[in-house]
Chains A and B, each alone.
Chain A
Amino acid sequence: MPDQQTSTLRKTPLFDLHEQQGGRIVPFAGWAMPVQYRGIVDEHNAVRTRAGVFDVSHMGRLFVAGTDAVRLLRRALTYDVAKIDEGRGHYTLLCNDDGGIIDDPYVYRLDAERFLFVGNGSNAERDLEHVRSLVEPGMDVELLDRQEQTVMLAVQGPAASGYLARIIGPEVAALEKRGCTELPFMGYKLFISRTGYTGEDGFELATSIEAGRALWRQLLAEGVEPCGLGARDTLRLEAALPLWGNDIDEKTNPYEAGLGWVVSLGDGGEFVGRAALQRIKASGVPRKLAHLKALDRGVIRDHFPVLHRGEVVATVTSGSFSPTLGTSIAMAYLPVAQAVEGTEVEVDVRGRRLRAMVVRRPFVASGAVSQRTAQQQTASSKQQNA
Chain B
Amino acid sequence: MAASPTDRKYSKEHEWLKIDGDAAMIGITDYAQEQLGDVVYVDLPEAGGTITQFEKMGEIESVKAVSDLFTPASGEVLEVNQQVVEKPELVNSDPHGAGWLIRVRLSDASETEKLLSATEYDALIQAQA
Contacts and interface: CB of A to CB of B under 8 A. Distances in A.
A39 B38 contact: yes
A299 B41 contact: yes
Interface residues on A, range: 10 to 19
A297 B86 CA distance: 11
Contacts of B63: 40-41, 230, 234, 299, 320-321, 323
B28 to A, nearest CB: 16
B8 to A, nearest CB: 25
A39 B37 CA distance: 7
A160 interface: no
Contact of A41 (B38, B41, B61): B38
Contacts of A35: 64
B47 interface: no
Interface in A250-299: 297-299
B66 interface: yes
A298 B85 CA distance: 12
Contacts of A78: none
Interface string B72-107: 000000000000000001001000000000000000
A38 to B, nearest CB: 10
B120 to A, nearest CB: 25
Contacts of B41: 297-299, 321
B38 A40 contact: yes
B118 interface: no
B23 interface: no
B101 to A, nearest CB: 16
Contacts of B40: 299, 321
A36 interface: yes
A224 to B, nearest CB: 20
Contact of A230 (B61, B64, B66, B89): B64
The residue among B37, B40, B63, B92 with the most chain A CB atoms within 10 A of its own CB is B63
Interface in A11-51: 35-36, 39-42
The residue among B43, B61, B64 with the most chain A CB atoms within 10 A of its own CB is B64
Contacts of A39: 37-38, 92
A12 to B, nearest CB: 21
A331 B72 CA distance: 38
A68 to B, nearest CB: 45
B64 to A, nearest CB: 6
A40 B36 CA distance: 11
Contacts of B64: 35, 40, 230
Interface string B7-43: 0000000000000000000000000000001101101
A40 B61 CA distance: 13
A230 B38 CA distance: 11
A350 B63 CA distance: 16
A183 B72 CA distance: 60
Contacts of A41: 38, 63, 89
The 7 A-B residue pairs whose C-beta atoms are closest, nearest first, are A41-B38, A321-B40, A40-B63, A321-B63, A39-B38, A40-B38, A299-B61
Interface of A: 35-36, 39-42, 230, 234, 297-299, 320-321, 323, 350
Given A36-B37, A230-B37, A299-B41, 14 more contacts: A39-B38, A40-B63, A230-B63, A234-B63, A297-B41, A298-B41, A298-B61, A299-B61, A299-B66, A320-B63, A321-B40, A321-B61, A321-B63, A323-B63
16 contacts: A40-B37, A40-B38, A40-B63, A40-B64, A230-B37, A230-B63, A230-B64, A234-B63, A297-B41, A298-B43, A299-B41, A299-B61, A299-B63, A299-B66, A320-B63, A321-B40
